[in-house]
A = this chain, B = another copy of it.
Amino acid sequence: MELKNDLLLRAANGEKVERTPVWLMRQAGRILPEYREVRSKMGGFIELVKSPEFACEVTIQPVDILGVDAAIIFSDILVIPEAMGLPYQMVESKGPWFENTVKNVHDIENLRVADPKEDLNYVLEAIRLTKKELNGRVPLLGFAGAPWTIFSYMIEGHGSKTFSKAKKFFYTQPQAAHQLLEKITLSTINYLKAQILAGADLVQIFDSWAGILSPDQYREFSLPYISKICDAITEVPVTVFAKGAYFVREDLGKLNCRTIGLDWNMDVRESRNLIGAEKTLQGNLDPCILYADYKTIEKETKKMLASFGPSKHIANLGHGVYPDIDPDKVKCFINTVKEYRF
């Protein structure tokens, strides 16, 4: 089906666009009262992720309510460890929690490579449903966590300030670490290919914990696996968002992907120089600016747009939108982008 609004895909492909496309990381969910209303009638977060009808409904909400140029499937990066054999719980106001974690080679051998049709069909079903319901209004984005970020949860069992267990694993069991990263990578390639087959028009890889690693570790334990995924996904444009990985921006520029996400710490001009002219950049308004008044939001959004320039840019925040942001402030951000002309 032809898309009525393909701005984001054209921008990702480096083509000319009438205006900069815009969406928000974490736009599906927690910020919208409409989401919270639907959610309050249902079960926990993971049950919702596993309900294709619910996922479809809340994926489309920001398209209807906020007017974004893309939908992103309502899901979670941690469906991959679960599909590999490590189930988790989402503890209210605490985050994810794994009862079992990976401690040694034996644990790694007991994990399977995810088979999306078998283990993740609920996501594929949600994508199929959403594509149908969207009816070509905007592109639908799929996503997965980067192998290092997924690895860190499988070793730590939950979030962490230092991720010292995961990094200790790199220093003490490097071979086992590579073995696990390889297994996660294969699972992720299978998963993203299945998402694309189900209808995803672009896929984004989130390396949420990229900024924890030293440059050497990042080049050994994260980049090669992201690179493998980028090489394997040839069907649709790929976006890589490696939060905090300012120290490998030149390397990111060489990945076989179309778009690089920038966080709000990354200077736009410097990033463009390091990443090169060819890639599209995505980002990077400080999510905290949406706490300010409308005038400040407009001013800062325009400043950001000017710094990226008229092409090869997808407007977004430099991180997921915070849960307590007023949706009207989000609309102000989106409308400022949509009305801006170079």
Q: Which residues of A contact B (CB under 8 A)?
A: 162, 164, 167-168, 170-172, 211, 213-215, 217, 244, 246-247, 264-267, 286-289, 291-293, 296, 318-319, 322, 324
18 of the cross-chain contacts (CB-CB < 8 Å) are A162-B287, A162-B288, A164-B287, A164-B288, A164-B291, A167-B286, A168-B288, A172-B291, A172-B292, A172-B293, A211-B211, A211-B244, A211-B265, A214-B264, A215-B265, A215-B267, A246-B246, A246-B247
Chain B residues within an 8 Å CB radius of A266? 247
| A167 closest partner in B (C-beta) | B288
- By a CB distance below 8 angstroms, the chain B residues around A170 are 288
Interface residue from B247, B286, B287 paired with A267 (Cβ < 8 Å): B247
Contact A167/B291 with A162-B322, A214-B286, A286-B217 known, Cβ cut-off 8 Å: yes
Residue of B nearest to A218 (CB): B265
A273 to chain B, nearest CB (A): 13
- Which residue of chain B has its CB nearest to the CB of A288? B167
Chain B residues near A288: list those with CB within 8 A. 162, 164, 167-168, 170-171
Q: How many copies does the complex hold?
A: 2
A164, A214, A264: residue with the most chain B Cβ atoms closer than 10 Å: A214
- The distance in angstroms between the C-alpha atoms of A197 and B267, with both chains bound, is 41
Smallest distance from the beta carbon of A221 to chain B beta carbons, Å?
Answer: 12
Minimum Cβ distance to chain B for residue A233 (Å): 28
Closest chain-B Cβ to A297's Cβ sits at a distance in Å of 9
User: Which residue of B215, B267, B291, B324 contacts A171 across the interface (Cβ within 8 Å)?
Assistant: B291
Kindly list chain B residues whose C-beta atoms are within 8 Å of the C-beta of A247.
Answer: 246, 265-267
Q: How far is the CA of A170 from the CA of B293 in the complex (A)?
A: 12
User: In the assembled complex, how far is the CB of residue A171 from the closest CB belonging to chain B, in whole angstroms?
Assistant: 4
- A296 partner residues in chain B, CB cutoff 8 A: 171
What residue of chain B has the Cβ atom nearest to residue A210's Cβ? B265
Most chain B Cβ neighbours within 10 Å, of A164, A168, A171, A265: A265
Contact of B291 with A168 in the complex, beta carbons under 8 Å: yes
The smallest C-beta distance from A163 to any residue of chain B, in angstroms, reads: 8
Report yes or no: B164 in contact with A322, Cβ–Cβ below 8 A. yes
In the complex, what residues of B have CB within 8 A of residue A287's CB?
162, 164
A171, B295: Cα distance in complex, Å = 11
